[in-house]
């Protein structure tokens, strides 16, 4: 398990790479990661992500209460907390504005249609699309929560992109993959349109992805609300049979 110092080190490294690759400008973007012993490390607001020091990072709890750090946490903290609540398997999140992927997001052009590269299926799975919500408000976490269940990369309409992973660097590399794929898609559009993979070909790629353990696949996730509902129904049935009092 990665220790707390390693988590912070990866956040700082990812912040520098986001700046150097111009995936963020000025104080844009935010990064967070879960700590092994509990708590979430998150980047501060109003700071260039390439100029951060370990002392600038904050630790918050699952409700967003600041546990340590003197600066203010990212203004998009609600979005991060919503993803962690929806996806217990996610341990790190990167939000940035990579130019080409953000161009698709602001043009409301999805990237999960006309899939052209096996590598994007292997690396990202389905690329989701989250409808527009006003940044810093409850609207963004609500729209993201509706889409993040079965994907590890999202276009945020008129806002940028979000990627998740089991580590900060995995989430960051998924952001790189997303941006590269968006660039390739843009080139294919300029050349007359992509020669998309067929549905059977894409399905086979997702099967390979699942077999290799490279990420989540659409249609294989269990909605926690469904689990809760089924549990309630089973309990009611047991109670009608006189078993519930023994549970």
- Active centre residues (catalytic): 76
The CA distances from residue 118 to 78, 178, 199, 209, 213, in Å, are 33, 13, 12, 10, 15
- Cα distances (Å, whole numbers) of residue 91 to 73, 86, 104, 140, 201: 18, 12, 27, 19, 30
Produce one character per residue of 203-228: b if its CB has 16 or more CB atoms within 10 Å, e if not: eebbeebeeeebbbbeeeeeeeeeee
DSSP annotation of 72? P
Q: What is the DSSP string of 229-241?
A: HHHHHHHHHHHHT
């Amino acid at each position: 398990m990665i220790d707390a110092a390693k988590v912070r080190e990866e956040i700082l490294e990812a912040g520098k790479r986001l700046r150097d690759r111009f995936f963020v400008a000025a104080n844009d973007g935010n990064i967070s990661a879960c700590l092994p012993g509990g708590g979430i490390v998150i980047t501060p607001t109003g700071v260039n992500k390439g100029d951060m020091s370990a002392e600038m990072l904050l630790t918050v709890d699952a409700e967003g209460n600041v546990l340590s750090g003197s600066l203010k946490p990212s203004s998009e903290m609600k979005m991060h907390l919503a993803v962690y609540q929806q996806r217990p398997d996610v341990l790190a999140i990167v939000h940035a504005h990579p130019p080409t992927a953000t161009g698709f997001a602001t043009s409301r052009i999805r990237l999960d249609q006309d899939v052209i590269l096996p590598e994007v299926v292997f690396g990202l799975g389905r690329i989701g699309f989250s409808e527009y919500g006003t940044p810093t408000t409850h609207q963004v976490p609500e729209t993201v929560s509706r889409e993040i269940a079965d994907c590890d990369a999202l276009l945020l309409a008129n806002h940028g992109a979000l990627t998740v992973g089991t580590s900060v660097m995995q989430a960051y590399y998924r952001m790189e993959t997303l941006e590269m794929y968006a660039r390739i898609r843009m080139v294919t559009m300029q050349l007359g349109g992509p020669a998309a993979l067929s549905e059977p070909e894409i399905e086979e790629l997702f099967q390979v992805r699942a077999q290799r353990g490279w990420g989540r696949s659409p249609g294989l996730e269990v909605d926690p609300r469904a689990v809760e509902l089924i549990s309630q129904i089973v309990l009611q049935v047991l109670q009608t049979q006189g078993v519930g009092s023994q549970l």
